[in-house]
Amino acid sequence: MATQRASSPRTRVRRLPEKAVYDRTTLDAVLDASVVAHVGIATDGQPFVMPCGYARDGDHLLLHGSTGSRLFRALGAGAPACVTVTVLDGLVVATSLFESSMHYRSAVVLGSGAALTGDAKRHALDVLADHLLPGRRAEARPPNRKELAATSVIAIPIEEWSVKVSDSPPAFIDDDAGWSNWAGVVPLRLRADPPVTDRGGEPPAYLETWYR
């Protein structure tokens, strides 16, 4: 269910609160629009932030990595984590450099996860594959026992979160009067270039949908 308030005092947006969006539908859209999350934990007093491929499965974020990873060992043991996802939509070019900025959608999810096993782990890997490589799972070799044992999948509940959206035009202030330089927005997006074939003949048709 969508909520119009911060999910906790820790996730209330304080810097530029007018950009905060406390709506679960918007959160899901941001999480579904990207493929890389940055995951932060603190171990022995030292913070670490690492990029991870991820997917959303309903009310959980799924992260996958190596069982030998310090990050995933800590996450699997229930270490508190901060997961951030940012979608960069454009560069805002204002009259001044100070007022220039970015169009973006960003999400922060706080929580502790759990390592998945058995059927839950296999289901999570299917969800991850469908998000990261849509259409590929139907024709790809499934993971073998050794590969499954080497892969950790963490599920973090989406309960404590915040979203910021920046989509305003360039600001114009009194000091900009008299300046006639161009101002506007340069849209940006993640796209896939034509595939480079390694083996197997013609690239499959579903690759044509791999752009965001």
Question: What does the pLDDT look like over 53-91, one tens digit per residue?
Answer: 999 999 999 999 999 999 999 999 999 999 999 999 999
**Collapsing DSSP states into helix, strand and coil, what is residue 69?**
coil
Is a pLDDT exceeding 70 seen at residue 95? yes
Q: What is the mean pLDDT of residues 95-102?
A: 94
Q: Cα separations (Å) of 198 from 129, 141, 205?
A: 20, 16, 16
Residue 3 Cα to chain centre, angstroms: 20
Residue 104 CA to residue 35 CA, distance in Å, equals 15
pLDDT at 157: 96
Lowest mean pLDDT, pick from 2-6, 94-98, 107-111, 155-159: 2-6
Question: Which amino acid, 174?
Answer: D
- Name the pLDDT band for 166 (thresholds 50, 70, 90): very high
Question: Would you say 94 and 184 are in contact if contact means Cβ atoms under 8 Å apart?
Answer: no
Is a pLDDT exceeding 50 seen at residue 2? no
Beta strands in the chain (DSSP E): 36-43, 46-57, 60-66, 80-93, 101-112, 114-115, 151-157, 160-166, 184-187
Residue 60 Cα to chain centre, angstroms: 13
pLDDT at 5: 61
Query: What percentage of the chain exceeds 90 in pLDDT?
Result: 73
pLDDT at 6: 65
Strand partners, 20: 164
pTM for the predicted model, two decimal places: 0.89
In the chain the domains, ranked by start, together with CATH numbers, are: 9-172+183-209 (2.30.110.10)
Is a pLDDT exceeding 90 seen at residue 116? yes
- Name the pLDDT band for 212 (thresholds 50, 70, 90): low
Radius of gyration (C-alpha) of the chain in whole angstroms: 20
Is a pLDDT exceeding 60 seen at residue 4? no
Is a pLDDT exceeding 70 seen at residue 177? yes
